[in-house]
Amino acid sequence: MHKAYVIGHITVRDADKWSLYRSRVPATLAPWGAELIFRGRRAAVLAGEHAHSDVVVIGFPDTAAIADWYASEAYRALIPLREEAAEVLLLSFSAG
């Protein structure tokens, strides 16, 4: 098994809704053995183009855990709030 990661590129549209969404995500991650690795704001674009201002990196045991988390009822219930709060691009990566 290879560790896997979800990387989110984010542009917040509604700070209050985004804060509510962020407060609810950790409970959806726990059953899948996931952990927040990094959350931050863009300092500079060094090459190419990148429209989003924020980033999040979440570590998972493997890509199956990512798929199960994303398909879970708990996380799916948060997607409408996420879509109201921000423009989000989520990517899944496998290490190794």
Q: Please count the structural domains in the chain.
A: 1
Predicted local confidence at residue 1, as pLDDT = 67
CA pair distance 19, 31, nearest whole angstrom? 22
Residue 88: name the closest of 6, 7, 8, 5 by CA: 8
Structural domain of residue 9, as residue ranges? 4-94
Separation of alpha carbons 96 and 89, rounded Å:
23
**Whole-number mean pLDDT of the chain?**
96
d(CA 80, CA 71): 14
Instruction: Read off the pLDDT of residues 15-50 as tens digits, 9 standing for 90 and up.
Output: 999 999 999 999 999 999 999 999 999 999 999 999
Beta bridge partners of 57: 7, 38
What global pTM score does this model have?
Answer: 0.92
What is the CATH classification number for the domain harbouring 25? 3.30.70.100
